[in-house]
Amino acid sequence: CRREAAFLGGPPGAGPWEAALFGRVLQRADCLQHCLGRRLGAAPSAHRASLAIRRDFEQREPYNYLQVAFFQLKKLDQAVSAAHTFFVANPQHLQMREDIEKYRRMSGVKSDNFRDLEATPHWEAYETGVRHYNADEYLQAVARLEESLTEALSALEECRALCEGPLEDEEEEEEEMQPGLYEAIAAHYIQVLKCRQQCILEIATKPGRISATEDFIPSHLDLLQFAYDQVGNQALAAECAASYLLFYPTDEAMLEKMKQYRTELGEDTAVTARESIQHYVQRSLMEKKLIYYAVEHLGGTFDDPDLWTPDELIPENLKEKHREDQEKQKQETLVVEEREKRGPLPFEGVAVTMDSHRMNGTQRVVFDRVLTETECKDLLRLTKAAGEAGDGHRARRSPHTPHERFEGLTISKAMQLAQNGDVDWRDAKLLLQASEKSRKIIEAYFTPGKKLHFSFTHLVCRTAVDEKQEGRMDLSHPVHADNCLLDPEGQECWKEPPAYVYRDY
């Protein structure tokens, strides 16, 4: 087999291509070893970190320890910076959230102490550029977006270089036969190529987020072409448009823009894409081609990080799976994006059993373990003792459906009954505490950083009416517009009285 395979690349043995290839490989290995030896000492391999340590640094774990150490050393400004740096990458960390709040209340702590020591230059420039862009400040926008694009491409190169590390064994059994020379080279090389392809996701993911910004590099070019057009620099606008078309050559809106720019600049004016972008696209396509070849012929999988990969590049027998993977990735991204908007829950043990995705809507959630079993029993006892039929619905026993009886109790009514000795005051207090706990959970989940206030609290029990359940199709509480007036024909909902316009959730 090895003799036959050798004929594919030329004559058997160490032919010219093999000598040339491995000659360069050996030279590069020698150069790398000398460089590492110069910078790390005689045994550079001793400085290689394990995967676990690399992950800790990626998640900024050292800053968690540093903030405690600096605080103990009375170096408050450094403690605050370390805490903030950790929290930026770990916004769901409850303990650090509390620590940050404590630091804010301390005297001597200044607002500029809260700085991200690991801030990535391309993200800082990108967000500033987008702010200027949204404020129609296009001159400032192009300067920061250009800076962001340059820094992003530089970060990409750094990430790609780090992909050339040791082969990461996918937990192979020890007794499994080790691959031969070419199989081992192919496996390691494809691992490196896949790693390089994933680098775009790394630089396009803002610290503290889970999902990457879609089309990060093309989006820069799209914003830049519009901004340059607005400041009257059609030559650079055309260059950015041509660069964008390398990713999406059939984009109708951008093709129209190119026609417009050619007319304005004159048909004789040469408009070419940026060399750096051409290099980026060509290199990426070459790598994708090799990876897809390996997946098709050698097995394995590839999660293509780019939406712009041309269909013709993907082998025919992998196209259907590629489409399914992209659709699945889109759905997962939507779920992740919604999760990222939430704040951390302020109580231990509370669990999200169903979120908006599972409930087929937006801003929907079901929590469990908000109360203990004992607390639930106490509230049920309170409802049985004090709940009034049709409470809040003009005493109508079945206000929403004839198939159920409705009983309710407000906090103010519970307090009155407790004062009169009609119910246990501890049960009335529990209702108030449970209500406040629910408010805090909803506030943290849906509106982190923004106060949420009650309209009213209603403890409600619904009881099925005997012999009225067969063939039933209605809801216990019909879905309805609560804070606006629904116009079904115009498909609008007007925020006007008598709707409860002040209600949000």
SS (H, E, C) 212-252: CCCCHHHHHHHHHHHHHHHCCCHHHHHHHHHHHHHHCCCCH
Q: Is residue 326 located within the same domain as residue 439?
A: no
Q: Which of 276, 307, 340 is the last residue of a domain?
A: 340
In a domain, 173, yes or no: no
Q: Phi first, then psi: what are they for 406, rounded to 5°?
A: -120, 130
What's the pLDDT score for residue 176?
60
In a domain, 346, yes or no: no
Q: Is residue 18 located within the same domain as residue 129?
A: no
Q: Compute the mean pLDDT over every residue in the chain, rounded to the nearest whole number.
A: 86
Report whether 96 contacts 86 (CB < 8 A).
yes
Cα gap 371→284, rounded to integer Å? 53
Q: Is residue 287 located within the same domain as residue 402?
A: no
Q: Is residue 30 located within the same domain as residue 86?
A: no
Q: Is residue 334 located within the same domain as residue 408?
A: no
What's the pLDDT score for residue 470?
84
Say how many residues make up the chain.
505
Burial code (b: 16+ CB inside 10 Å, e: under 16) for 205-237 equals bbbeeebbeebbbbbbbbbbbbbbbbeebbebb
In a domain, 175, yes or no: no
pLDDT at 169 exceeding the cut of 80: no
What is the H or E stretch that residue 437 is in?
helix 425-446
In a domain, 345, yes or no: no
In a domain, 255, yes or no: yes
| Number of structural domains found in the chain | 5
pLDDT digit string, tens, across residues 396-442 = 778 778 888 888 888 999 999 999 999 999 999 999 999 999 999 98
What's the pLDDT score for residue 173?
47
What's the pLDDT score for residue 336?
67
Q: Which of 311, 340, 369 is the last residue of a domain?
A: 340
* Secondary structure (3-state) at 169: coil
Confidence of residue 505 (pLDDT cuts 50, 70, 90): low
Domain that includes residue 485, residue range: 475-505
Q: Is residue 184 located within the same domain as residue 289?
A: yes
Q: Is residue 210 located within the same domain as residue 302?
A: yes
pLDDT digit string, tens, across residues 207-228 = 888 788 889 999 999 999 999 9
Q: Is residue 147 located within the same domain as residue 41?
A: no
Q: Is residue 494 located within the same domain as residue 413?
A: no
Instruction: Enumerate the β-bridge partners of residue 487.
Output: 492
Q: Is residue 73 located within the same domain as residue 138?
A: no
pLDDT digit string, tens, across residues 279-328 = 999 999 999 999 999 998 888 889 899 989 998 998 888 888 777 777 77
Instruction: Name residue 230's amino acid.
Output: Q
Q: Which of 113, 141, 156 is the last residue of a domain?
A: 113
Confidence of residue 242 (pLDDT cuts 50, 70, 90): very high
Q: Is residue 76 located within the same domain as residue 193?
A: no
In a domain, 174, yes or no: no
In a domain, 284, yes or no: yes
Q: Is residue 68 located within the same domain as residue 103?
A: yes
Cis peptide before 12 (omega within 30 of 0): no
In a domain, 309, yes or no: yes
